[in-house]
Structure 1
Amino acid sequence: MNKTVFRSFRPLVLIFVITNALFLTSRARLNQWNIDVDVLIIGNLVLFAATAVSFFLFTRQLNTKNPQAIVRTVYGGVLSKMMICLVAVFVYISIAGKGVNKGGVFGCMFLYVLYTTLEVVTLMKLSKQKKNV
């Protein structure tokens, strides 16, 4: 992989580090709001891993001239990300039972939107750079 791809992935890593730091430093405040910080941290890790898989699946296809291959890769990335998240949710619900922390789940939903938005914006920029080169 070239340096441009790794440089483009940096904002996602930065979001991961910043959100985990915020969760750890504001644990007391989040507990007052009935939000389980451990759920947020584990959810953040799962979402980061899913986003990384999706991101690198797409960037492998940037040099391909075949538009169908790029579309298949985008759909595959979205599907893999969705499946990873679904498995994580089912595992969490089966472990927590009736003690599911709704605040933590809603926080993870916000993180999903954040990661997906940042990933799409980054991939669009990478795609435009490749077309212009």
Structure 2
Amino acid sequence: MKSKFQQLYIPLIVLFGLVNTICLLFKDALQLKQIDPMMVAGANTLLFLICTFSIRSQIKSANNTNPHAMVRGVMGSVVLKLFVLGTAAFIYLYNVGEAQSVNGIFVSMGLYIVYTWLEVKMAMQIKPTKKDGSN
């Protein structure tokens, strides 16, 4: 039987693979629309890593006896995601100067919303296990 993390992880892998495949296959079409596919793939990778960390911490906090641990885990992951992505956007805009891809930033913001929605959906499926091991 698959672990809880492996079952929840499948939609993340599908989304990550789909976005990176689109960035690779439609590179020229994205560049015509002034979207930097490498920047979008980088943002996708950051979101994937943060969401993976977040789901792991939420599974861990679901087994905590403190009822507020799950809420703190979800809120902490949202704040972490905002700070990391805000910092990454600032570094990107500072380093590229005039060659910035504003449309790529908007696509990345859309990916943030999709990953956050997916994370909340997955968090709703996490059920705490009781001390005797039953659900």
TM-score, normalized by length of structure 2?
0.87
Using the aligned pairs only, state the percent identity: 29
Name the structure with the higher helix share: 1
Matches within 5 A, 1:11-90: 11-90=11-90
Show the counterpart of 1:125: 125
1:15 to partner: Cα distance: 0.5
Distance 1:130 1:114 in 2: 28
Partners of 2:53 and 2:90 in 1: CA distance: 20
CA–CA separation in structure 1 for the residues paired with 2:63 and 2:3: 14
Q: Deviations over 1:68-120 (max 9, x none)?
A: 22222222111111111111111111111232211110110111111111111
Provide TM-score, normalisation by structure 1. 0.89
Aligned to 2:93: 93
Shift of 1:31: 1.3
Structure 2 unaligned regions, length at least 5 = none
Q: Which residue does 2:106 correspond to in 1?
A: 106
Q: Which runs of 5+ in 1 are unaligned?
A: none
- 1:130–1:114 distance in 2 versus 1, CA, 3 Å: farther
Q: Cα RMSD (Å) of the superposition? A: 1.9
Size of the alignment, in residue pairs?
131
